[in-house]
């Protein structure tokens, strides 16, 4: 049984930073593409950042140069470093694992396994 557990969310003021973590169990992280997604109230879930099996990363335009995704295959973990946070970054953040073409790493449909999410709230 594949399980993903996120942590690190919280409340922060605009301009601040947070680091999200996702620990996987039941499979080898290195075998899957992995990503961070978020969903704000009343909005669809959207891709934020993803990292392919070969290490290629991709980011949504809204978070480029502010967020950094990384993975530690030895610790079966995925991370999202979020800097210069904005009020519009407020959402539930989800970790996911799946298999995707490089050009569609941010597409939610390519991810089979999902965590329960961790809330990020940014106050302006």
DSSP for 7-50? E--EEEETT--EEEEEEEESS-GGGSEEEEEEE-TTS--EEEEE
Query: Does residue 77 have a pLDDT over 80?
Result: yes
User: What does the pLDDT average to over 45-56?
Assistant: 95
* 25-34, 60-69, 82-91, 96-105: segment of lowest average pLDDT: 25-34
Asked if residue 121 lies in contact with residue 89, where contact means CB atoms within 8 angstroms, the answer is no
Query: Does residue 75 have a pLDDT over 80?
Result: no
């Amino acid at each position: 049984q594949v399980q993903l557990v996120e942590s690190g969310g919280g409340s922060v003021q605009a301009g601040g930073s947070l680091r999200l973590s996702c620990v996987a169990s039941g499979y080898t992280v290195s075998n899957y593409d992995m990503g961070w997604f978020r969903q704000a109230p009343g909005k669809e879930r959207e891709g934020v950042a993803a990292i392919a099996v070969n290490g290629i990363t991709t980011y949504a335009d809204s978070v480029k140069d502010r967020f950094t995704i990384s993975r530690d295959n030895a610790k079966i973990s995925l991370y999202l470093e979020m800097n210069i946070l904005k009020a519009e970054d407020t959402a539930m953040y989800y970790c996911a694992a799946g298999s995707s073409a490089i050009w569609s790493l941010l597409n939610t449909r390519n991810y089979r396994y999902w965590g329960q999410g961790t809330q990020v709230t940014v106050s302006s």
